[in-house]
Amino acid sequence: MSPSTKKDAADQAQVDHSRRRFMKGVGTVSATAAGVTALKPAWGGMSLGDALGEFFQDHYQRMSPEEIAAAVSRIERKAKRKFGRDIQVGNAPPIEGVVFGYALNISKCKGYRDCVSACVQENNLGRGGQMEYIRVLELDKGDRNLDHANHYYDHMAVPQEGKEYLPVQCMQCDDPPCVKACPVDATWMEPDGIVVMDYDWCIGCRYCMSACPYSARHFNWREPEIPADELNSDTHYLGNRPRVKGVVEKCHFCIQRTRKGLQPACLEACPTGARVFGNLLDPDSEIRWILANKTVLRLKEDLGTEPKFWYYTD
Partner 1 sequence: MTTVTESKPFDGDYGGKPAWRGRPRRRQGDSEEERVNRRWRSVLSCLLLVLPPLLAAESEAPGQKDFTVAPRTTELEHVPCKDCHQYMDPNPEPRQLVDSPHVAEVRHGKADMWCTACHAPENHQQLRALSGLAVDFDDSHRVCRDCHSATYQDWLYGAHGKRVGSWQGEREILNCTACHDPHLNLNVLQRRPVALPGVRAGLERQVHGPAPPRRLWQRKQQAESEESDVTEH
Partner 2 sequence: MILLSFLRDGFKAMLRGGSLYWLWLGVLLVLTGIGGWYYILQLRDGLIITGMSDQVSWGLYIANFTYVVGIAAASVLLVIPAYTFHRDDVRTVVPLGGAMAVAAVITAILLVTVDLARPDRFWHIIPFIGKFNLPESLLAWDIVVLSGYLMLNLVISFYILFQHYRSRQPNLRAFFPLVVVAMFMAISIHTVTAFLFSGNPGRPFWHTALLAPRFIASAFVSGPAIIIVALLLIRRFWSYPVKQAVIDMLAVILMFSLYVNLFFVAAELFTDFYNETAHAASIRYLYLGLHGADALVPWIWTALVLNIIAVTMLSFAKLRQDNRVLVTAAILCGTGVWIEKGLGFVIPGFIPTPIGEVFEYSPTFPEVMITIACLAIGALVFTLLARAAVEFESGRLRHG
Q: Which residues bind partner 2 (CB under 8 A)?
A: 18-19, 22-23, 55, 59, 62, 130, 135, 137, 145-149, 151, 168, 177, 179-186, 201-207, 209-215, 217-223, 245-247, 300, 303-304
Q: Which does 261 bind (CB under 5 to 8 A by kind): partner 2, partner 1, none?
A: partner 1
Q: Which does 110 bind (CB under 5 to 8 A by kind): partner 1, partner 2, none?
A: partner 1
C-beta neighbour count of 18 within 10 angstroms: 8
Nearest-angstrom CA–CA distance, 144 and 310: 15
Residue 193 near residue 99 (C-beta atoms within 8 A): yes
| CB 299 to partner 1: min, Å | 18
Beta bridge partners of 297: 311
| CB 138 to partner 1: min, Å | 8
The CA distances from residue 152 to 137, 162, 171, 193, in Å, are: 8, 17, 21, 31
CB closer to partner 2 out of 85 and 300: 300
| CB 291 to partner 1: min, Å | 10
Residue 219 near residue 161 (C-beta atoms within 8 A): no
Nearest-angstrom CA–CA distance, 72 and 95: 21
Residue of 18, 156, 183, 302 that binds partner 1 (CB under 8 A): 156
Q: Cα angle at 83 between 239 and 75, to 5 degrees?
A: 45
109 scored as a contact of partner 1 (CB under 8 A): no
Number of residues that bind partner 1 (CB under 8 A): 60
293 scored as a contact of partner 1 (CB under 8 A): yes
CB closer to partner 1 out of 81 and 294: 294
Burial of 249 per CB tally in 10 Å (0-12, 13-18, 19+): buried
C-beta neighbour count of 219 within 10 angstroms: 18
Interface positions, 24-53, toward partner 1 (CB under 8 A): none
Nearest-angstrom CA–CA distance, 195 and 22: 28
Q: Which does 287 bind (CB under 5 to 8 A by kind): partner 2, partner 1, none?
A: partner 1
| CB 199 to partner 2: min, Å | 10
Nearest-angstrom CA–CA distance, 98 and 106: 25
| CB 38 to partner 2: min, Å | 22
Q: Which residues have C-beta within 8 Å of that of residue 155, sequence separation ≥ 6? A: none
Interface positions, 198-257, toward partner 1 (CB under 8 A): 221-222
| CB 206 to partner 2: min, Å | 5
**How close are the terminal C-alpha atoms of the chain, in Å?**
65
Residue of 6, 112, 234, 244 that binds partner 1 (CB under 8 A): 112
Alpha helix (H) ranges present in 56-153?
Answer: 65-83, 114-122
| CB 218 to partner 1: min, Å | 10
Q: Which range binds partner 1 by CB under 8 A, 21-29, 66-74, 105-113, 178-186?
A: 105-113
Residue 201 near residue 63 (C-beta atoms within 8 A): no
Q: What's the length of the chain?
A: 314
Residue of 142, 183, 227, 302 that binds partner 1 (CB under 8 A): 142
- Give the residues lining the site for partner 1 (CB under 8 A): 98, 103, 105, 110-114, 116-117, 128-132, 135-136, 138, 140, 142-143, 147-159, 161, 221-222, 258, 261-263, 268, 270, 272-273, 276-279, 283-287, 289-290, 293-294, 312, 314
